[in-house]
Chain A
Amino acid sequence: MTRNDYLIKRKFNSYLVPGILMVIAMQLGNIVDSILVSMFIDIDGLTAISLSMPALCFMQMFGFIIGVGGSITISVKLGKRQMNEASGIFSVCLISVIVISLVFTVLSFFITRPLTMLLASTAELQALLEPYLFVFICFIPSLNVCLVLANIMTIDNNPKLGSASFVVANAVNLILDYVFLKYTDMGMTGAALSSIIGFGAGILLVIPYIFSKKRMLHFSLREGVRQIRSIVGVFKNGMPQAMYFIMSILKYYILNAFIQQTLGADNMAIYAVCINSVNIVRLCIEGVIGVVQTIGGVLFGEKDYYGIRRLVRRTVIFCCAAVAALTALFIICPQLILTVFSFNKPELYDIAMLCVRLFSFSFVFYAANRIVQVYYQTTLNTRLSSINTTLDGFVFLVPISMIFIGTMGVVGVSVATIVTEALSFFAVFIYRVIQQKRGKLPQKGFLMIPEKDGESLVDITVSSTDEQAVEVSKQLMECCEKEGIPSEKATIISVAAEELTSNIAHYGYKGNKPSFIDIRLSKVDSRLILRVRDDGVSFNPTEYSSGGSDEFRLGGIELIRSVADRMTYNRVLNMNNTVIEVALDNAE
């Protein structure tokens, strides 16, 4: 009997579609939003939105930091089965994002004007920018709360609802954009209002989750106060997000100005096509990479290193396939890409095709860097993730772009991107290897996790049948005998494993559809810990009662409860996790 990745694969697949939908909703929302504004206002309206980006990036940054940092911190706690702490952190995250966002709401009455003056240089642009900025900043709580809830719901067994809230938010935004811009004279106020109302609608969709009895995380002011210090950890885990936003703000400012000055407006269009091509790559791989963040955090908390390996392997395979297909598309049909971005400068067509083709060679390194960033962030090696984000997003990118664009012209945009992405990847690789040799980072290899957790005695996957339930109990008995564990304790653990496995085989899957069950026995501080994990129907054995009035404790589950020292249950990632503990130090 060995471990396999059946359940991990199933989880990967079930989180993949919602993850991709969420990314598509965000990306397409941005793209179509821009098109509508430029259609119904004019190109200056679009420029005003571009000019607002540094300010809006800053306000939204807190939603992303708390959403992503919070979901990672909570998922690790869920993996460790520290349910109260997880709920406390959830409460702290929600309170923090509301408080921070409300501060911006108050400030919006005072800072909008000075910000407008700072960001826009002409009176026309200022007139367009000011109402847009005001509405956005004033109602920023709607957007940030939606971001945090969508991220946290995803790890709390509701990936579809999480992505649906984003899809609805963007759909409502686009519909209202059309209505407000075409049928009213609200102009830029309408553009901002539609986004804000969209995210408000996203929050409405979340209401069933808030009142759902099945959720693992509960809002509790008391637990929130207890866990108040965890907000530091949340911000630390969300630091790569912060770095990404800050780098983006700086990068756009400096490079936009430099390219316009050195290459002129026409070549700027080629640069814009290349930079926006990244959105296509993002569209294809971010949903996949996001699964690492969702599932990886829980597996890391559980010390399920086998599961993490399989998860990363699957992610890499998906990303390689997507990148290979996209690179081939860009190399074979660059004209298609230019058409998609409405590139209409025939005199620059040849050079633009060369740039697009060259630029596609950066995709493989872009994907590699994103995996590095998300994986290390998820496994709490935040420093490595932040270093990669900083190098890739600014420290390498800006000087290298300036050098290559200065010497090679517009082709330098593509070459600089390839060099930057590759250098960022290898710089983090070398830094990691050096730090590992110095003993400052754990374990050898990219994943930085041990082969085994050092506590597991048995880590296997079995099919959900009575025959396998019996085989499990035999294997556990044999293992315990080898480890010198008293036979009374070994029997209790084996009986529990057999009963739980048999119970899942009979009732876990509708229509008795065969599936797989992960079983792990570990020894921690003179306690035997048995974890049985399945993705069948939700079943909490700690609350189960056979309902019989028999004088004997006949029900198998009740028997386990009476023989084990402790039985706990949680449902994370839509999987049942039942944990049985038996103390070894009171052996008879």
Chain B
Amino acid sequence: MDITVKNEEKIYTLIIEGRIDTLTAPELVKVFRENAGKADKMIFDMSGVDYISSAGIRAIVSAYKDMGSKDGLVLKGLRNNVRTIIRMTGLEKKLTIEE
């Protein structure tokens, strides 16, 4: 998994590519926490994510709670298979998801 961080006026975008699984999810949490304190809003650009496991879901939920509001974390560019998993966990209703 590769993560690139972009900052445009305190709106941080993590461009994630590859798999978010048991081994890589901790890296996502780490990168998120390094930047979350400085961000008003966090966007996970997941158009390059082709797989997400339950560890990845837990990482996203942890980020959502840390941001403290519904619009604080945005998921963007979800592929169908990743979106299916997110929907089935009940996350789709809680998070802001952009195409």
User: A469, A487, A562: which contacts B81 (Cβ < 8 A)?
Assistant: A487
Establish whether residues A562 and B89, one from each chain, have CB atoms under 8 Å apart when the complex forms. Answer: yes
| Cβ proximity bits A548-574 to B, threshold 8 Å, 1 near / 0 not | 000111111001101100000000000
User: B53, B81, B89: which contacts A488 (Cβ < 8 A)?
Assistant: B81
Establish whether residues A553 and B23, one from each chain, have CB atoms under 8 Å apart when the complex forms. Answer: no
A492 within 8 A of B: yes
Minimum CB–CB distance from A585 to chain B (whole Å) comes to: 16
Establish whether residues B84 and A491, one from each chain, have CB atoms under 8 Å apart when the complex forms. Answer: yes
Q: Which residues 473-503 in A have Cβ within 8 Å of B in the complex?
A: 473-474, 477, 487-488, 490-492, 494-495, 498-499, 502
B69 within 8 A of A: no
Establish whether residues B80 and A488, one from each chain, have CB atoms under 8 Å apart when the complex forms. Answer: yes
Establish whether residues A559 and B79, one from each chain, have CB atoms under 8 Å apart when the complex forms. Answer: no
B94: which A residues are within 8 A, CB to CB? 551-552
Supposing A498-B21, A498-B22, A559-B54 touch, asked if A491 and B89 sit within 8 A by C-beta, the answer is: no
Supposing A498-B21, A551-B94, A563-B88 touch, asked if A487 and B79 sit within 8 A by C-beta, the answer is: yes
Number of interface residues of B (CB under 8 A): 24
B30 within 8 A of A: no
* Chain A CB within 10 A, most for which of B22, B58, B88: B22
Number of interface residues of A (CB under 8 A): 28
A21 within 8 A of B: no
A117 and B61 CA atoms in complex are apart in Å by 85
User: B19, B21, B54, B80: which contacts A588 (Cβ < 8 A)?
Assistant: B80
Establish whether residues B89 and A553, one from each chain, have CB atoms under 8 Å apart when the complex forms. Answer: yes
A490: which B residues are within 8 A, CB to CB? 81
A551 and B64 CA atoms in complex are apart in Å by 12
A453 within 8 A of B: no
* Chain B CB within 10 A, most for which of A491, A502, A553: A491
A473: which B residues are within 8 A, CB to CB? 19, 21, 51, 53
Minimum CB–CB distance from A102 to chain B (whole Å) comes to: 55
Supposing A469-B22, A477-B51, A502-B22 touch, asked if A552 and B89 sit within 8 A by C-beta, the answer is: yes
Establish whether residues B81 and A552, one from each chain, have CB atoms under 8 Å apart when the complex forms. Answer: no
A470 within 8 A of B: yes
User: A466, A474, A477, A491: which contacts B85 (Cβ < 8 A)?
Assistant: A491
Establish whether residues A499 and B53, one from each chain, have CB atoms under 8 Å apart when the complex forms. Answer: yes
B90 within 8 A of A: yes
B82 within 8 A of A: yes
Establish whether residues A498 and B90, one from each chain, have CB atoms under 8 Å apart when the complex forms. Answer: no
Establish whether residues B51 and A491, one from each chain, have CB atoms under 8 Å apart when the complex forms. Answer: yes
B16 within 8 A of A: no
B29 within 8 A of A: no
A490 and B50 CA atoms in complex are apart in Å by 11
A488 and B50 CA atoms in complex are apart in Å by 10
A488: which B residues are within 8 A, CB to CB? 80-81, 84
B interface: dominant SS: mixed
CB nearest to B62 among chain A residues? A554
Establish whether residues A466 and B23, one from each chain, have CB atoms under 8 Å apart when the complex forms. Answer: yes
Minimum CB–CB distance from B49 to chain A (whole Å) comes to: 11
Supposing A477-B51, A492-B85, A559-B54 touch, asked if A470 and B23 sit within 8 A by C-beta, the answer is: yes
Establish whether residues B53 and A495, one from each chain, have CB atoms under 8 Å apart when the complex forms. Answer: yes
Establish whether residues B81 and A470, one from each chain, have CB atoms under 8 Å apart when the complex forms. Answer: no
Q: Which residues 41-83 in B have Cβ within 8 Å of A in the complex?
A: 50-55, 57-58, 61, 79-82
Q: Which residues 422-472 in A have Cβ within 8 Å of B in the complex?
A: 466-467, 469-470
Establish whether residues B90 and A551, one from each chain, have CB atoms under 8 Å apart when the complex forms. Answer: yes
Supposing A473-B53, A502-B22 touch, asked if A559 and B89 sit within 8 A by C-beta, the answer is: yes
A495: which B residues are within 8 A, CB to CB? 51-54, 85
Supposing A487-B79, A487-B80, A588-B80 touch, asked if A552 and B90 sit within 8 A by C-beta, the answer is: yes
A398 and B51 CA atoms in complex are apart in Å by 69
User: B23, B58, B82: which contacts A554 (Cβ < 8 A)?
Assistant: B58
Establish whether residues B54 and A491, one from each chain, have CB atoms under 8 Å apart when the complex forms. Answer: no
Establish whether residues A552 and B82, one from each chain, have CB atoms under 8 Å apart when the complex forms. Answer: no
A498 and B57 CA atoms in complex are apart in Å by 13
User: A467, A477, A499: which contacts B54 (Cβ < 8 A)?
Assistant: A499
B52: which A residues are within 8 A, CB to CB? 491, 495
User: B61, B80, B85: which contacts A563 (Cβ < 8 A)?
Assistant: B85
B51: which A residues are within 8 A, CB to CB? 473, 477, 491, 494-495
A338 and B69 CA atoms in complex are apart in Å by 90
B91 within 8 A of A: yes
Supposing A488-B80, A559-B89, A588-B80 touch, asked if A554 and B21 sit within 8 A by C-beta, the answer is: no
Q: Which residues of B contact A (CB under 8 A)?
A: 19, 21-23, 50-55, 57-58, 61, 79-82, 84-85, 88-91, 94
Q: Report the 9 A-B pairs with minimum CB-CB distance, sorted nearest first.
A: A556-B54, A491-B81, A487-B81, A488-B84, A559-B54, A563-B88, A488-B81, A466-B22, A498-B53
Given contacts A551-B94, A559-B88, 15 further A-B contacts (CB under 8 A): A466-B22, A470-B22, A473-B21, A474-B19, A487-B80, A488-B80, A491-B82, A494-B53, A498-B54, A554-B57, A554-B61, A562-B89, A563-B84, A563-B85, A563-B88
11 contacts between A and B (CB under 8 A): A487-B80, A491-B82, A491-B85, A498-B54, A499-B54, A502-B55, A551-B94, A553-B90, A556-B54, A560-B54, A562-B88
Q: Which residues of A contact B (CB under 8 A)?
A: 466-467, 469-470, 473-474, 477, 487-488, 490-492, 494-495, 498-499, 502, 551-556, 559-560, 562-563, 588
